Copies of this chain bind each other. A is one copy, B any other.
Amino acid sequence: MSHVQSEDPIRNASKRWLNQRAVDALRYPVPGSWLQPMGDTWINLASGYPFPNTVPGREFAAAMSHLVDIEGDRPFQYAGSPTSNDLTEWVADRMRKSRLMRQEDALLMTQGSIQGLDLLCRVTLDSESVVITQGPTYMEALEIFHNYTSHVVALPCDRPDRDFNEMLTTYLTSRTDTHPIKLLYLGSSFQNPTGLVMSWEMRQAMVTLAMQYNFLIVEDGAYDALYFGTPIPPIKTLDTRGFVVYLGTLSKTIAPGLRVGWATGPSPLLDAMARWKKDLGNPVISGITRQYLHSINYDARLDLLREQYRDRAHLAHEALTHFMPPDVLWDAPLGGFYIWLRYPDRIESTDLLDKARSLGVSYVPGQYFYPFAAAPHTQKLRICFSYETPPRMEEGIRRLARAFEQTLGTPHL
């Protein structure tokens, strides 16, 4: 977006054309407002980006060249080429093999998994609908929910004393609100931003509650493949009755800039979503991506990624252990990209952020992972161990520790 802001009559005239929902959505902060400006010298512990060395740029360039050799203009036309259209089959095959797609399910390819979430909201929500999320949860998902409804309920998932399962059961059995619950959005493995993993029992409980209270579970599987130990099957694999939609993506295992994602779930829902997907797909990218996948062993790639991110997670955990003041807490990551830090009340969040910035390190403040209405003054933050080189990551953690110490006023070392 590039534009000139103005409060002139034209602006008012244009607003007149907006429908009620669009006007309501304007109450929320501008999308992406949680993005921090970054200098080139800053160490980026904020962005959930794959490690640059794992992004197969050259392989994609080679794949594109090869694709043009064998298919000419076809991937560049509306309907795509055999190769570009085969990406759907490649995904469907993997989904079926992982029991993430039942006989009765459909698959819809989307622009990143986030578009799948938007389309699902499009066909299920209205302004009276309740959406339940984990608190904290993925900020882009929150921006989407805020577009459709103001009834976004975030139930704590990072409390040491009560687990999400218990919070959810209490909420469902004791709520007095009569608005219909439509969706429960969650990450079951290495959730963004906490990195938490739901137990097998908790996953079973989610499906049982969904059937009992008749809501749909939206399981965001973005980090599922990036486990460091033994993975637990996604909630979707437990669903026999069509109460779960699963969102998948190549963003974390190949590259986010491709915008290759998908949704699997009950055909009637996915059919309805497909009607609202009005962008005519992405034939060129689908073609290059499928061609690239022909040239590699994707499972071997995943093994390698797991190894690399496991090492990086270990390094981050070690650095945190070494540098952080004793009252900053976190869990050793079991997979994914993130570590969620909790710190004491006496540290002022905005002071910490200012200090970190002045020391040249970025992170995402915890408040952005909660619904706007909740606007909690959280003593939490997310760091990402996926993007920076190991030495820079270590230095970033050292700087962040120094920011904590200077904000606490009690030097640690």
Contacts and interface: CB of A to CB of B under 8 A. Distances in A.
- The contact size tier of chain A is 35 or more
Contact of A278 (B2, B115, B271, B287): B115
Interface in A188-237: 214, 216
A57 B73 contact: yes
Interface string A22-64: 1001100011000100000000000111101101011011101
A1 B129 CA distance: 27
A250 to B, nearest CB: 11
A15 to B, nearest CB: 5
A271 B126 contact: no
A367 to B, nearest CB: 20
Given A61-B64, A106-B3, A107-B2, A259 B282 contact: yes
A372 interface: no
Interface in A251-297: 251, 255-259, 266-272, 274-276, 278-285, 287
Interface stretch (A74-82, A321-329, A394-402): A74-82
A123 interface: yes
A174 interface: no
Residue of A10, A48, A79, A105 ringed by the most chain B CB atoms within 10 A: A10
A241 to B, nearest CB: 6
A19 interface: yes
A125 B1 contact: no
Nearest to A19: B126
A278 B140 contact: yes
A65 interface: yes
A12 B341 CA distance: 44
Contacts of A80: 257
A78 B49 contact: yes
